[in-house]
Amino acid sequence: MSSDETVLEDLLEGKHRALARVISKIENRSPGYRDLVSELYAHTGEADVIGITGSPGAGKSTLVDKLAETYRERGETVGVIAIDPSSPFTGGAVLGDRIRMASTVGDMDVFVRSMSARGTLGGLSTATADAVKAMDAFGKDKIIIETVGAGQNEIDIVRTADTVAVLVPPGSGDEIQTLKAGILEIADVFVVNKADRDGADRTVQELRDMIQLGNESGFAAGGGDGHHSQEVIDAHDDWDGESVEDESDAGWTTPIVETVATSGEGIETLLEAFHDHRTYLHDSGEHAEQVRQRYAEEIRTLLREDIHAMLEEELADSGGIDALAERVRTGETDPYAIAGEVLAPVDACLEELETE
């Protein structure tokens, strides 16, 4: 049995050391990682994947810590992937795995992994999606992804998470205006964290107003695909934690939940919102479509990576990119002609396959 087969077997048996090794292999794109990830697919699909995103300072790390602690109190196992800013020197994650997870230190059923954003503006790389598969195959009940909060490109998280919570700090009216054209529309749940601070009520109202305005102009919150309705429910008003599907059957009703992560206030309500959204996804058939779109994007990404690598080889065989650029500079040829030359062998191979 090869070392990869051994580590895969250990992962499926629930050995955390094997899980750590597999994620390291995935993150480093070590030889054989693709075959390893391919083997994981048959063992995935059971975990509930939750994305936590929002601006820096919104309290994401503290909230994730409290979510993990509460899930553990319920007897569920948790995996956390914290996407950290990349070190400018090593490319690795700047923050340590356990710095942010004080409440669950020593609990082996909470596995925390910090991963480098590696320059990905949205904080999610292909490696992150593969790491989620590793935790899913391992058997984690809940997988929480916390992103760096880099702005509009946080929409990348939708491709990996089943439910997305967008955190908005109190008193952030200008920030809401900045975000509304970007990450706010991906929210399945809005979270006004640090709700004990001045300005929380105003922020909730601004979110309501923004969504109402979006409703009038055709904007749809949640994933940008239009399947969410625009009614917003404040957890401190009338929502009783029951199903939050819109009575008009227009789709999922995006709630606003106020939390104080440091004290745990509102956490149970937030978990109920996550549970209700998961129920809605499965009952409505949205989950199947969500997964289908996710796999479609994975296929596109892998094809882009493979074609890019193939073309790099062709460029090297043609003398390298610098030599080709020099030919353009001297007027010998142009970029379009070179692109055609480089792609010619690929086109020839495809034509040969079509005739077979």
CA distance 117 to 128: 9
For residues 232-260, b (16+ Cβ closer than 10 Å) or e, as one string? bbbbbeebeeeebbbeeeebbbbbbbbbb
How many Cβ atoms are within 10 Å of 104's Cβ, its own excluded? Answer: 21
CA distance 189 to 51: 10
Q: What pLDDT score was predicted for residue 186? A: 83
**All domains in the chain, ordered by first residue:** 44-284 (3.40.50.300), 298-355 (no CATH)
**Which residues, listed in sequence order, are joined to residue 53 by a DSSP beta bridge?**
166
Q: What pLDDT score was predicted for residue 99? A: 47
Residue 72: what residue type? Answer: R
Q: What pLDDT score was predicted for residue 183? A: 64
Q: Is residue 38 a contact partner of residue 5, using CB atoms and an 8 Å limit?
A: no
Quote the tokens at residue 208.
């309501």
The DSSP symbol for 260 reads: B
* Average pLDDT per 10 consecutive residues for the chain, totaling 356 residues: 89 95 91 93 95 85 94 95 62 46 68 74 68 96 85 66 90 64 76 88 82 61 44 43 43 87 93 96 94 90 86 83 93 93 83 78
CA distance 111 to 15: 11
Q: What would the DSSP string read from start to end of 151-218?
A: SGGGGGGGGT-SEEEEE--TT-HHHHHHHTTTGGGG-SEEEE-STTSTTHHHHHHHHHHHHHHHHHHT
Q: What pLDDT score was predicted for residue 277? A: 96
Return the biggest CA–CA distance within the chain: 72
CA distance 99 to 292: 36
Q: What pLDDT score was predicted for residue 248? A: 36
End-to-end CA distance of the chain: 37
Mention every residue, 6+ apart, whose C-beta is less than 8 A from residue 37. 26, 130, 133, 134
| Spatial CA neighbour of 76 closest among 329, 224, 271 | 271
Which stretches of 235-331 are assigned E, i.e. beta strand?
252-258
Q: What pLDDT score was predicted for residue 50? A: 96
Q: What pLDDT score was predicted for residue 181? A: 56
How many Cβ atoms are within 10 Å of 95's Cβ, its own excluded? Answer: 15
Residue 314: what residue type? Answer: E
Q: Is residue 146 a contact partner of residue 80, using CB atoms and an 8 Å limit?
A: yes
Quote the tokens at residue 117.
């954003």
Instruction: Check: pTM over 0.85? Answer yes or no.
Output: no
State the helix-helix crossing angle for 335-355 and 286-317, rounded to 10 degrees: 110
| Spatial CA neighbour of 149 closest among 172, 132, 130 | 172
3-state secondary structure of 87: coil
Q: Is residue 175 a contact partner of residue 82, using CB atoms and an 8 Å limit?
A: no
